[in-house]
Amino acid sequence: MIKVEVDPTAGLQASSSGDILIVIDVLRFSSSIVTGLAAGAKQFIPVTTLKKARNIHKNNRSYLLAGERKGLKPKNFHFGNSPIEFKKSNLKGKSIVISTTNGTKTLEYCKKSKSLFIASFLNAHAISTYIADHFPKEENISIILASKNHTIFLEDFICAGLLVSNIINLTSKQDLNDDAILAKLAWSSAKDDLEKTILEGHHASYLESIGFNEDVKFCVNRDIYDLVPFVQGNRISKINRC
């Protein structure tokens, strides 16, 4: 079965059930992770609080700090939660501690999973093909959305629909939960004018209002990175597919 879960806490049950988990937070956590790894970062270390992030950096000054609260870079952090920042930086071999409002908290619910991945529009095809190629067709897939206060973000729901469509095409899976069916329909409706649709969403509008229009437009690009971020323990790194 392919499931889309709009409550991040569903990651707890999905992990204990042995599902393949995919976390989506398009604007901007998952897009930043994908872009940072593509820019050469060795790994990301996700934490739920700014205090934890600062403590890790205090103990290892070579680690960089990235994150946001209310969309803005915290005081004395090296980076915000911006894929454009990462894209323009030389991150080769760097370890980056990251804390965001929704994305890192969602990962916390999923961290016990043995098969945990991070997806965005930027790497949707890579994630879909990797899962289709490396896991038995009968395994359950849970796509966990980084919602906030039980309110989903439009861009995450549409991206989930893209993944559902891709995985169906690659594996012939047909058993979907209701939210997966709805997400697939949302993707079908939005795909011909994706940027316009995403920009109508509340989250995109908010980020634009605080100066991150370039980030928003970048995050709706499809399949520009052939990269699969994998979470193991408390580390996010890219899978070597060679």
What is the tens place of the pLDDT at every residue in 93-112?
A: 999 999 999 999 999 999 99
Structure tokens given for 110: 């999923």
pLDDT, the chain, mean? 96
What's the mean pLDDT in 14-22? 96
- How many alpha carbons fall within 13 Å on the CB side of residue 82? 23
Which helix (H) or strand (E) is 128 found in, with range?
Answer: helix 124-134
Residue 217 scores a pLDDT above 70: yes
* pLDDT given for residue 149 in this prediction: 75
Beta bridge partners of 231: 116, 236
Angle at 138 between CA 136 and CA 144, to 5 degrees: 95
Characterize the bridge pairing of strands 229-232 and 235-238: antiparallel
Residue 211 has a pLDDT of 97
Please state the domain extents for the chain.
Answer: 2-238
- Spatial separation of the C-alpha atoms in residues 174 and 214, rounded to whole Å: 37
Q: For the domain made up of 2-238, give the CATH fold.
A: putative 2-phosphosulfolactate phosphatase (3.90.1560)
Name the 3-class secondary structure at 218.
helix
